[in-house]
Amino acid sequence: MEVNSELAIQLINVNRSYGSSKVIENLNLNIKKGTINALVGASGCGKTTLLKIILGRLVPDSGEVRVFGMEPYSSVLTVPGSLVGYAPQENALYTDITIEETLQFFATLHNMSKEHFQERKQQMIKLLDLPPMNRIVGSLSGGQKRRVSLAIALLHSPKLCILDEPTVGLDPLLRTLVINHLKDISATGVTVIITTHYIEEARVADKVFLMRNGKILENGEPEYLIQKYDAPTLEDVFLQICRADESKTLDLIISKSNYTQPTNYNNNSNNNNNNLPPYVSQEENSDLSSIILDSNNNLNINNENSLNNTYNDIMNIDEHNPLLMEEKPYIKSDKSPFHVVTKTKHILAIGKRKLIQILRNKIVLFFELFSPTFQIVLYFLFIGGTPKQVGFGVVNQDLGIGPPVNLYLGADLIANLQSSGLFQFHYYNSTAEAIAQVKLGVTWGVIEIPENFSMAWPERLNDPTDSSAEAESNVQLYMDFTNFQITQFVQQELQTAFEQLGSKFNISMNPVEVEPAIFGSATAKFLWFLAPGFVGLITFAHSIGITAVSFVREKIDGSLDRLFAYNVSTGSIIMGHFLGHIALLCVQAGILLLISILGFGIPIRGDVGLVLLMVILNGFVGMSLGLLISGISKIETEAIQLSLACYFPTLIMSGTLWPLQGIPIQFRWIPNLLPATHAAAVLRDLMLKGVSFTYPEVYQGFLIVLAWFIGLFFLSTFALKEREKNFNFKKLFLKKNN
């Protein structure tokens, strides 16, 4: 493609579809440097799509695009980047930061110096009549937000201004100021492209491009077009062209344009409305006695009260205005390899903005800090605890042995059981009566101690082959076996109680010595098994939760497009989001471990630093999974559903709630695929076994979780892709089959 140095933008035979629906068709476009250009056309004709192609956000299916002679994004950090000032159709603002923070954020992205930022900020305040800088953007009115959005686009004095419907929501006075500002900057060599529904507004442009169904039907200077088509207004020109193109959407365009053409516009009548700007609606006319169109189509304010506010006053436009005359670029160039300095600045700016947003939004802050704490307390309180005060019946028929020995072993056995805290005993005289209470659900079971127990038990200990002693010392257990956990605990406590009874006679009932333990302790609680998995899982789930919707809104409202237009890479955006959350993730992990250790006595026998590292790494995996979800979701509910779809299987399959050995053998490979399984195993090893990093399961687990993090990070970068290609599966399929 031959590059013309006079042109800011060249498009040749550009085509672009969304799926199989063609939106831009064989489009050719040349835009001269230092001119104002208006893209005019009905809603849905492809104006925004065309702008996104120029910005490099959308990759054309075919054809060539050059911006200042270069293909957008052909090399890193070149075009358009800070050369462009882009205001998307939507306001694309971060609602929970102030106007000052918003402008500062974009100034950092553009590498603007402090002085330059302050200077431009003051000009934007005056030009756009911005509200006080400390106002939170979310609290602004629609028109105020629009002005902030325009301020962002113009702040860094870009060489190319791409403004998608810049005047929507602005009052007539401001509209005038903005249009005149655009005329002035174009006089200094800045190229301006605006889209508009208000066809007559395009009259201020040097060149108008009339678009319909993805094609440019006509283009030229407004006056030339009006003469060529012998039409009174541009709107009439457009109507004629559309009719010729077998317009079907004509009515739609007119109804969209709520603005009426004064009948005598451009006539030499003496009527007061004579010089009204044609895109001003009838309702607004009353406020506009002060606005006139001069012979050069400049909009001016002709009311003494407004004089102090005139555009020239505000912007101090004359040959002495250093800003408009300045030739040297405002943006400091970055000569570092791979533009590391700029990328680092981008990451820091996004991270700072994210952190401000989190800290300012109390609900999010609460969610990030207190909700995990609350959850871990709930988990520890309600799951995995040792049962206490389980209702149990006792029928103690033991008569004991009279003096001088005075043994009441039945009562001793009950006392041993009682000391465990597991039982809350109900005493009954008969077994039938006790069983009836089990059947009524009052108790879980009955322990029946036979009447000769005190006599027969020592004999049985002395001679295990004595069958009559065995029969007379058998303690009978009647149980409701529907609760497996309680059954296990009761049987375990009975065994312990009998061991204690045996030790009274210096006889060990259980010849197996369980201590010293290789790892852990024989008195370990079930909660200790659960706790490491819970800590990991909560960090993982919360990290998904806080990031899963991060980009969805930004995608919908165009804020991401604006960042991409300014050459902020997806990698920088994702790293910035990480950065914003890291501090809170670390605090969160610390709180969870403190509660585990101090609040619930969960042991940490290994290196606390490694435990913390794994919890944080696990949080990173959750964050990158959340960002991936955010990247592929079109709306928030989709992101929330996907997050839940990831969380629950992880909770169930990661071995957090139940040992992996309990899973049917043919399905055991599934948990091994999940990072949460390895994180839980590593945390258990470190906390309960007290092993070091060199323990195979630990370092392997670290490597697997790290690999997951890196893999998901890259996938999320891909999902958020800065340049959207048209994936047409139908075409792909047909190509393959041909």
Ligand X SMILES: Nc1ncnc2c1ncn2[C@@H]1O[C@H](COP(=O)(O)OP(=O)(O)OP(=O)(O)O)[C@@H](O)[C@H]1O
DSSP helix, strand, coil percent of the chain (3-state; round to 5): 55, 15, 35
By CB under 6 A, the count of residues binding ligand X is: 11
Residue 168 vs 670, nearer CB to ligand X: 168
Q: Which helix (H) or strand (E) holds 238?
A: helix 234-244
Residue 47 vs 110, nearer CB to ligand X: 47
Round to whole Å and give the CA distance between 238 and 236: 5
> Which residues pair with residue 218 across a beta bridge?
210
Residue 23 vs 574, nearer CB to ligand X: 23
Residue 697 vs 724, nearer CB to ligand X: 724
Round to whole Å and give the CA distance between 176 and 424: 84
- Contact flag: residue 144 with ligand X (CB under 6 A): no
List 3, 13, 18, 672, residue binding ligand X (CB under 6 A): 18
Residue 89 vs 570, nearer CB to ligand X: 89
Which range in 46-54, 309-317, 440-448, 518-526 contacts ligand X by CB under 6 A?
46-54
List 10, 49, 416, 716, residue binding ligand X (CB under 6 A): 49
List 40, 45, 112, 234, residue binding ligand X (CB under 6 A): 45
Residue 41 vs 622, nearer CB to ligand X: 41
- Contact flag: residue 38 with ligand X (CB under 6 A): no
- Contact flag: residue 257 with ligand X (CB under 6 A): no
Alpha helices (H) along 595-635: 608-632
List 4, 13, 28, 43, residue binding ligand X (CB under 6 A): 43
Which three-class secondary structure state does DSSP give residue 10?
strand
List 7, 10, 37, 46, residue binding ligand X (CB under 6 A): 46
Residue 164 vs 206, nearer CB to ligand X: 164
What are phi and psi for residue 423, nearest 5 degrees? -105, 150
List 7, 11, 14, 23, residue binding ligand X (CB under 6 A): 23
Least CB distance from residue 103 to ligand X, whole Å? 26
List 37, 82, 89, 572, residue binding ligand X (CB under 6 A): 89
List 3, 44, 187, 517, residue binding ligand X (CB under 6 A): 44
Round to whole Å and give the CA distance between 234 and 27: 22
Which range in 42-50, 108-116, 403-411, 533-541 contacts ligand X by CB under 6 A?
42-50
Least CB distance from residue 203 to ligand X, whole Å? 18
Q: Which residue has the tokens 């004089």?
A: 307
Which range in 44-52, 102-110, 232-240, 700-708 contacts ligand X by CB under 6 A?
44-52
Q: Which residue has the tokens 């009426």?
A: 260
- Contact flag: residue 421 with ligand X (CB under 6 A): no
Round to whole Å and give the CA distance between 263 and 249: 24
Binding residues for ligand X restricted to 525-554, rule: CB under 6 A: none
- Contact flag: residue 47 with ligand X (CB under 6 A): yes
**What are all long-range contacts of 146-150, with beta carbons under 8 Å and residues at least 24 apart?**
146/91, 146/170, 147/174, 148/91, 148/93, 148/99, 148/102, 148/103, 149/87, 149/88, 149/91, 149/92, 149/93, 150/87, 150/178
Q: Which residue has the tokens 């509910």?
A: 637
Least CB distance from residue 193 to ligand X, whole Å? 13
Round to whole Å and give the CA distance between 454 and 410: 7
Residue 46 vs 158, nearer CB to ligand X: 46
Q: Residue by residue, what is the 3-state secondary structure of 437-464?
A: HHHCCCCCEEEEECCCHHHHHHHHHHCC
Residue 18 vs 366, nearer CB to ligand X: 18
List 48, 157, 186, 643, residue binding ligand X (CB under 6 A): 48
Least CB distance from residue 211 to ligand X, whole Å? 7
- Answer for the pair 628, 549: CB distance below 8 angstroms, yes or no: no
Angle, alpha carbons 110-115-118 (nearest 5°): 80
Least CB distance from residue 638 to ligand X, whole Å? 15
Look up residue 736 and give its amino acid: K
- Answer for the pair 93, 169: CB distance below 8 angstroms, yes or no: no
Look up residue 390 and give its amino acid: V
Which range in 47-55, 382-390, 456-464, 562-570 contacts ligand X by CB under 6 A?
47-55
Query: Which chain residues interact with ligand X by CB under 6 A?
Result: 18, 23, 41, 43-49, 89
